[in-house]
Amino acid sequence: MSKFIYKDGEWDTSSRTYVMGILNITPDSFSDGGMYTDPAAALDRAVMMEQQGADCIDIGAQSTRPGHVPITPEEEWERLCPVLEILCGKISVPISVDTYLPEIARRSVEYGASIINDVSGDVESGMLEVAASTGAGIISMYSGGGADDDGGKRNSFICMLDYFRRIMTAAQCMGLATRRIALDPGIGFGKSRQDDLETLVQLEKITDEWCENAVLVGGSRKRVIDSCLAFDTCPDERMSGTIALHTVSQFFGARILRVHDVTEAVQAARVTDALILTKNNV
C-alpha cells in the first residue's frame, strides 16, 4: 500500500491519484511566466485551483526550465515569502514549495508549507535533512545530474534507479521515514525526449521496487509532447497531450500528477482511477 506522508497530513496513494496544481510566481517559467508574480494574483489562482479540485498547491519562485538564469536565495525568498504569507489560512489544501535550495525549503516550512518539492537532483543537497528536521514530506526528483537537458548521453533510467536507491539509503540513515518521500523521475530534465517516453512506460519498475512510495509525474505542457507530433506547439496548446501522457503514467503507477490545467487533469485522473479499479476487479 503506497502512502505519502507530509507535515500534518498524508495521502493514501493506493486508493486514488492526487493532483498538484502548479503556481509559478516567476517572470520566466516556460509556460506561465509573469502571470502570478503579484501576491494577490497568486492567491486568486491558488483559491481557484483548490476549487477546481487540486489536492495541493505547488509554488515555484525560481524557474528550472532549460536555459534558465538562476537567481540568488535572497531573490527567491523575496518572491516566495509574500505569497506564503497571503496564502496562510486562505486555502485548506497543503502547500508544496518547488526549490533546489535547502535554506528556502526550511524557511518555507516555517511559513506554512507542508511539502518540499526538491528539484536539486542531489542526494547531498541538504534537502533530506530539512525534511527530517521539519516534519515536511519531500518529493525527490531525478534531474539527470543537472536541471538542463543533456541530450540523453547516459542510460538515464538505470541512473535514475540508482539515484532513488541512494535517496532511500540516505533517508534511512538519518531516520527519515521513507513514506515521507515521493519519487519523481523528472520528465524533461537531463534526458532526451525519447528517454522521457521510455521512462514513463517503465514506471512499474519504480513502483515494484518501492511499492510503499508514491510516484509523481510532471509532464504538464512539456516539450516531450511536441516530440510526438509532426509540428511544434506553444506550451498552452499541449493540454490534450498532457492528459494523454498523465493517463498512461497512471496506468503504469503514477499516483501524483503535477499540472497546470487542474479542472481537466482532475476529471481525467478520476476517470482513469475508475478504469484502473475496474480492470483490477474484473
What pLDDT is attached to residue 60? 95
Instruction: Indicate the DSSP class of residue 230.
Output: S
What pLDDT is attached to residue 68? 61
Rounded to a whole number of angstroms, the CA Rg of the chain reads 17
In 137-195, at which residue ranges do the beta strands (DSSP E only) sit? 137-141, 181-184
What pLDDT is attached to residue 155? 83
Catalytic residue at 205? no
Give me 113's grid cell: 508549507
Q: How far apart are CA 183 and CA 185, in angstroms?
A: 7
Q: At what angle do helices 127-134 and 156-173 cross, to 10 degrees?
A: 40
What pLDDT is attached to residue 32? 62
3-state secondary structure of 7: coil
Torsion, CA 114, CA 83, CA 28, CA 130, rounded to 10? -30
Q: What CATH number labels 4-281?
A: 3.20.20.20
What pLDDT is attached to residue 243? 98
**Which residue in the list 7, 45, 107, 258 is annotated as catalytic?**
258
Phi then psi dihedrals of residue 281, to 5 deg = -105, -10
Catalytic residue at 79? no
5 backbone φψ class: left, alpha, beta (φ>0; ψ -120 to 50):
beta
What pLDDT is attached to residue 156? 87
Contacts of 82 (CB under 8 A, 6+ apart): 39
What pLDDT is attached to residue 31? 60
**Which residue in the list 191, 193, 222, 255 is annotated as catalytic?**
222
DSSP string, 27-91: S--TTTTTSS-SHHHHHHHHHHHHHTT-SEEEEESS--STT-----HHHHHHHHHHHHHHHTTT-
Query: From the centroid of its chain, how far is CA 118?
Result: 8
Q: What is the pTM of this model?
A: 0.93
What pLDDT is attached to residue 154? 55
What pLDDT is attached to residue 28? 63
The tens-digit pLDDT sequence of the chain (282 residues) is: 899 999 999 999 999 999 999 999 988 665 666 688 899 999 999 999 999 999 999 999 987 766 667 889 999 999 999 999 999 899 999 999 999 999 999 999 999 999 999 999 999 999 999 999 999 999 999 998 543 444 444 588 999 999 999 999 999 999 999 999 999 999 999 889 999 999 999 999 999 999 999 999 999 999 999 999 989 999 999 999 999 999 999 999 999 999 999 999 999 999 999 999 999 999
Phi then psi dihedrals of residue 116, to 5 deg = -100, 120
Instruction: Indicate the DSSP class of residue 99.
Output: E
